[in-house]
Structure 1
Amino acid sequence: MSATHRHNSRLQNASVTSLRRGPQRRDSGRRSDGSVTSSGRESIGTGLTEPPAYSKKFVVVGDGGCGKTCLLISYSQGIFPEKYVPTVFENYITHCEHKPSGKIVELALWDTAGQEEYDRLRPLSYPETDLLFVCFAIDCPNSLENVMDKWYPEVLHFCPTTPIILLGLKSDLRNKRTCIDLLKTQGLTPVTTHQGQAVAKKMGALYMECSSKEMTGVHEIFDAAINTVVAEAEGMNQSPPASRGSLTAQNSNSQQQQQRRPQTSSKPSENPTPMMAPSKKKKRKACLIL
């Protein structure tokens, strides 16, 4: 058995154990000296003096190599990982402020494997999810196709009432000449903002973009996600849960609905029907690592 295979086996075994302990991970695991136990990687310099007002779980899904791990590490640890290492499953614990209220929110950020060999393991990460990030790479048009072919149907099956944000990652590569030239040889072009918005509209999800490498748009994404889950938590005892589509209209009380199904896009007045995956299975292509 090769060293790489042994390493992957250990990762997978450890990940299954961690996933089974998922509910405990949502506690901060903070010791009296302020350090954090092995239940998750803690962000740098939290220094909390009081318990968080909310503990929320975000799960990130999408094709392998599309930039999910870089997004989570850049946000939670403030660094960009230059080396690509395929993820099995990983959990990052971080604390942040809900700006409108000033309350502290503890986030459990769950990174998942996009490779097909982990399709049976990945559903273990879905229980008790408060918000889903469905991701694709702007430099990989096939990864956007796979959002509707695979990822949206999967999360709709396991988390039918959970809010979704569709994320276009690696936005810095959209205008990069080497990326454009490489895609051109395949008859492709980088994904446009309009294309991403069109898919989000079909999903009834908010659409956002970012570059983890340049740290542009990263904090805006998590601010929007935190605002969504906190607004939902604070409104649960006052009115029925919001529909997934109200993610983009969370400040409008008129968007509350009895049945939480994907309804609207970034324009609350439009109510598209979610497009489900075609019955014919397509061959999926992996993202390029530039």
Structure 2
Amino acid sequence: MASYQYRNNHQYDQTRRDQHTRSSDGTASTTYSSSTGRESAATEATEPPTYSKKIVVVGDGGCGKTCLLISYSQGYFPEVWLSLPHPLPWTQTRSHGDEMLTVDKKYVPTVFENYIAYPVHSPSGKTVELALWDTAGQEEYDRLRPLSYPETDLVLVCFAVDCPNSLDNVLDKWYPEVLHFCPYTPLILVGLKTDLRHKKTCIDMLKTQGLTPVTSDQGKAVATKMNAQYMECSSKEAKGVDDIFERAILTVVSNDRRNLESPSGGGGGGRSGSGHVSKSSIPGVGIPKRKKRKCQFL
């Protein structure tokens, strides 16, 4: 499991350039510089962060979770380029300067990836150490994924708008799993890849399967059933990404303050308006697991 630490100001500055260093143990660190010469407030801070919070991201494999985290923490949409001697069946050749490179179209699933960012809690101006936990959505990692859940402050439950089945799996798989391991943790349902919602190739491909892209209203309806907030974004176009994490930060810091002000001084946050959740009331707990639905991601 690689651990990544990123320091930036979480703004999508097209002129930023990043330098990567990787040690022998696989740990990577990334620093950014911009054309304006400004450095991140986190790098200039002399005091430790006021808040330390953990966010776990779950959802079907290939729905865009890793791209969401990289787009937020690093400020760019990740594309994998490989210099190969000849094109392979799953590669696409493109011209890149004086060289012919091939873009790797083969999907490599995440197992566990950790990212650390240092955003600012807008109302207070205080720095937050935000640990972002990426998880594997494939069924073969179902027994490992629960290792990510302890001490989680908020869960982003993700689906892709170009794959209606990934939204079905939210209620069939992800919501019951999260409720089982994090019954008091606030949730945000996140619709990813909104740039594909109106893309003709996506619409045509889904049409052959008798499907259509997921609408905002469909996502909101599922979020209501989960007693969760609902948000959408396009990591590729950098639309709505910062808004999601701004909402997440406001939620976890608000819960932190609420716990400190409560007479008991404790508690686990929880979803708005929700009380104690017993396992008997959790959908899917104690019920035979349904086979997870699958679809092809663009």
The bucket for the TM-score relative to the shorter chain is: 0.7 to 0.9
Determine which of 204, 210, 222 is the counterpart of 1:181: 204
What percentage of aligned pairs have identical amino acids? Answer: 63
Task: Name the CA distance, whole Å, in 1 between partners of 2:289 and 2:258.
Answer: 40
| Deviation for aligned residue 1:237 | 2.0
Q: Could you tell me whether the CA contact under 8 Å between 1:67 and 1:170 is conserved in 2?
A: yes
CA contact under 8 A between 2:231 and 2:244: conserved in structure 1?
yes
C-alpha distance in 2 between matches for 1:159 and 1:39: 28
Q: Alpha-carbon deviations, 1:208-242, whole Å to 9, x = none? A: 00000011110110000000010111121212758
Distance in 2 between residues matched to 1:200 and 1:284, nearest whole Å: 19
2:120 to 97, 116, 131: 97
Asked if the contact 1:203–1:274 (Cα under 8 Å) also holds between the matched residues in 2, the reply is no
Q: Which residue of 1 aligns with 2:111?
A: 88
Amino acid at match of 2:43: G
Structural mapping, 1:38-57, within 5 Å: 44=32, 45=40, 46-49=42-45, 50-57=47-54
2:59 pairs with 37, 62, 66, which one? 62
SS class of match (1:58): strand
**2:147 is aligned with 1:124:** yes
User: Deviation digits for residues 51-75 of structure 1, max 9, x if unmatched?
Assistant: 1001101000000000000000000
Structure 1 residues 285 and 276, CA, compared in 2 at 3 Å: closer, same or farther?
closer
Indicate which of 284, 289, 296 corresponds to 1:288. Answer: 296
Q: Is the 8 A contact 1:65 1:287 kept in 2?
A: no
Task: Pick closer, same or farther for the CA change 1:183–1:164 going to 2, 3 Å.
Answer: same
Secondary structure of 1:236's aligned partner: helix
Bigger proportion of residues as helix: 1
Equivalent residue letter for 2:54: K
Preserved CA contact (<8 Å) 2:259 2:269:
no
Change (3 A) 1:58 1:36: farther
Deviation of 1:120 after TM superposition, in Å, equals: 0.6
Hey, what does 2:175 align to over in structure 1? Answer: 152
Q: State which of 142, 164, 168 in structure 1 corresponds to 2:165.
A: 142
Superposed CA deviations along residues 94-121 of structure 1, whole A, max 9, x for unmatched, are 1000001100001110000000111111
Matched, 1:234 2:257: yes
Letter in 1 for 2:140: E
| Alpha-carbon distance between aligned partners in 2 of 1:104 and 1:36, rounded to the nearest angstrom | 26
2: CA distance between counterparts of 1:51 and 1:36? 25
SS in 1 for 2:291: coil
CA distance, structure 2, for counterparts of residue 186 and residue 154 of structure 1: 28
Please, which runs of 5 or more residues in structure 2 have no aligned partner? 8-20, 33-39, 81-106
Which of 63, 73, 89 is the matching residue for 1:76? 73
Deviation at 1:43, TM superposition (A): 6.6
- Let me know the Cα RMSD of the aligned residues: 2.8
Corresponding residue of 2:96: none
Partner of 2:194: 171
Q: Kindly tell me: are residues 208 and 136 of structure 1, through their superposed partners in 2, closer, same or farther at Cα, counting changes over 3 Å? A: same
Structure-2-length-normalised TM-score: 0.73
What is the identity, as a one-letter code, of the residue corresponding to 1:234? Answer: R
